[in-house]
């Protein structure tokens, strides 16, 4: 069986409040080790399109600016966030903000500049496809460069904690509203991994109302297996099916639930390839399609304005000795007309009402400030 290059679930970093003083003479040696690690990772892949390992670009950019090369914890964080070693845009925000605050607290004069550079890099890479990442980092770092040094560093840490607390409240509100919408849904089909959808389905299971979870494999990133790992302890039977059986799977379901990397302003859902097939099958069978997403995931574009998605290789499909192109997108936009509603912290929102919901929420972080 092929291996999927599986991505892991998040684990908290051991984030010290200070780092040992950086020794400049280690710079060349450390970057050389990073480059060797990168070459080793590349050599393990089959021929074809190699997915970028963007964290090394940040290391080079820091060296080019005469700043310290990032340490192992920062590089691990970048692996989890910009190279998506961890699944889920919401998880990436939860990792990114403390990572930026941690770097600012390092015991060296350039630490704040390094932290702001890190925030800018993450926003300009992972944030391009996941607006919630860019939005959160923009909010965290706004005005920091204009504050006295110590105050700015402390503010980065305070804002990281504030975002985390507010995000927890928003997710709680989303799940509470989602449970009301999904009353009577006994056989949800959940496609691709989303921590928000996983939490929602877990609470549905705890109500005792679920008969079965239907989980297609979502082979592009092995997202279905993540759901099985996350939900196996609910004691609800799971039907795990190949993506080729999507039509059959949807026919067995009561509703299709999708997470979202991002949302377009008119309610399109950016999610792993196969999501649109699931939504089209749901429409054909008269089943509702719900996205589940924090409103901070809404970007600036409408569905028709989103450019073609970048390609990656799927060389894990090849057997030894086979050589052919396997390039395809990893993400796609589920068109708004296939979406019944987005389950948000303000309740269910029809695609055509999404911009009004954004105006209602404004820029407040906490859900209690918007209701």
Q: Tens of pLDDT along 325-362?
A: 999 999 999 999 999 999 999 999 999 999 999 998 86
Query: End-to-end CA distance of the chain, in Å?
Result: 50
132-180 pLDDT, tens digit each: 999 999 999 999 999 999 999 999 999 999 999 999 999 999 999 999 9
- How far CA 122 is from CA of 125, 166, 332, in Å, comes to 5, 21, 21
Query: Average pLDDT over the chain, rounded to whole?
Result: 87
Higher pLDDT, 35 or 366: 366
Q: Which helix (H) or strand (E) holds 203?
A: helix 195-206
| Segments of the chain assigned E as strands | 188-191, 213-216, 238-241, 255-258, 262-263, 269-272, 289-292, 311-312, 328-329, 331-334, 341-344, 347-349
How far apart are the C-alpha atoms of 347 and 342, rounded to whole Å?
Answer: 8
Residue 298 — pLDDT band, cuts 50, 70, 90?
very high
- How far CA 276 is from CA of 131, 212, 246, 257, in Å, comes to 20, 22, 11, 12
How far apart are the C-alpha atoms of 176 and 172, rounded to whole Å?
Answer: 6
Residue 363 — pLDDT band, cuts 50, 70, 90?
low
Whole-number pLDDT of residue 172: 96
Task: Extract the tokens encoding 262.
Answer: 């991002």
| Contact by Cβ (8 Å): 330, 320 | no
Percentage of the chain with pLDDT > 90? 77
Please provide the DSSP assignment of 222-250 as one string: THHHHHHHHHGGG---EEEE-GGGHHHHH
Which segment of 47-56, 287-296, 308-317 scores lowest on mean pLDDT? 47-56
Secondary structure letter of residue 297 according to DSSP: G
Whole-number pLDDT of residue 159: 97
How far apart are the C-alpha atoms of 290 and 340, rounded to whole Å?
Answer: 6
How far apart are the C-alpha atoms of 349 and 343, rounded to whole Å?
Answer: 6
Residue 43 — pLDDT band, cuts 50, 70, 90?
very low
How far apart are the C-alpha atoms of 297 and 134, rounded to whole Å?
Answer: 9
Sequence-separated (6 or more) residues with CB below 8 Å from residue 291: 258, 259, 260, 263, 267, 269, 271, 334, 339, 341, 342, 343
Is the confidence at residue 38, as pLDDT, over 70?
no
CATH superfamily, domain at 182-369: Translation initiation factor eif-2b; domain 2 (3.40.50.10470)
Residue 94 — pLDDT band, cuts 50, 70, 90?
very high
- What are the extents of the domains in the chain? 24-169, 182-369
Residue 49 — pLDDT band, cuts 50, 70, 90?
very low
Higher pLDDT, 361 or 61: 61
Task: Extract the tokens encoding 356.
Answer: 């009004």
Torsion angles phi and psi, residue 21, rounded to 5: -60, 135
How far apart are the C-alpha atoms of 319 and 34, rounded to whole Å?
Answer: 30
């Amino acid at each position: 069986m092929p291996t999927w290059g599986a991505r892991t679930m998040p684990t908290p970093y051991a984030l010290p409040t200070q780092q040992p003083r950086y020794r400049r003479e280690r710079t060349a040696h450390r970057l050389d080790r990073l480059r060797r690690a990168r070459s080793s990772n590349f050599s393990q892949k089959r021929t074809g399109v190699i997915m970028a390992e963007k964290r090394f670009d940040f290391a080079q950019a820091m060296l080019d600016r005469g700043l310290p090369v990032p340490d192992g914890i920062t590089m691990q964080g970048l692996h989890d966030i910009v190279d998506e070693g961890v699944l889920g845009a919401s998880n990436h925000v939860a990792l990114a903000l403390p990572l930026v605050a941690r770097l600012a607290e390092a015991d060296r004069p350039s630490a704040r500049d390094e932290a702001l550079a890190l925030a800018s890099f993450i926003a300009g890479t992972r944030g391009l496809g996941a607006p919630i990442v860019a939005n959160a980092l923009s909010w965290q770092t706004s005005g920091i460069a204009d504050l006295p040094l110590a105050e700015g560093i402390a503010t980065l840490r305070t804002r990281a904690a504030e975002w985390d607390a507010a995000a927890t409240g928003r997710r709680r509100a989303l799940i509470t509203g989602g449970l009301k919408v999904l009353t009577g849904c006994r056989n949800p089909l959940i496609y691709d991994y989303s921590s928000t959808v996983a939490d929602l389905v877990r609470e549905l299971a705890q109500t005792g109302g679920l008969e079965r979870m239907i989980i297609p494999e979502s082979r592009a990133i092995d997202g279905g297996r993540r759901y099985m790992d996350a939900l196996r302890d609910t004691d609800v039977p799971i039907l795990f099916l190949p993506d080729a059986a999507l039509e059959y799977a949807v026919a067995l379901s009561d509703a299709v639930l999708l997470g979202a990397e991002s949302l377009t302003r008119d309610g399109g859902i950016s999610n792993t390839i196969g999501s649109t097939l699931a939504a089209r099958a749901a429409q054909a069978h008269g089943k509702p399609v719900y996205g589940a997403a924090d409103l901070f995931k809404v970007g600036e574009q409408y569905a028709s304005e989103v450019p073609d998605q970048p390609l990656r290789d799927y060389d894990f499909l090849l057997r030894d000795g086979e050589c052919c192109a396997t390039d395809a997108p990893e993400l796609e936009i589920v068109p708004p007309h296939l979406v019944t509603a987005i389950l948000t912290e303000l309740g269910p929102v029809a695609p055509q009402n999404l911009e009004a919901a954004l105006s209602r929420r404004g820029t407040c972080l906490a859900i209690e400030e918007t209701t």
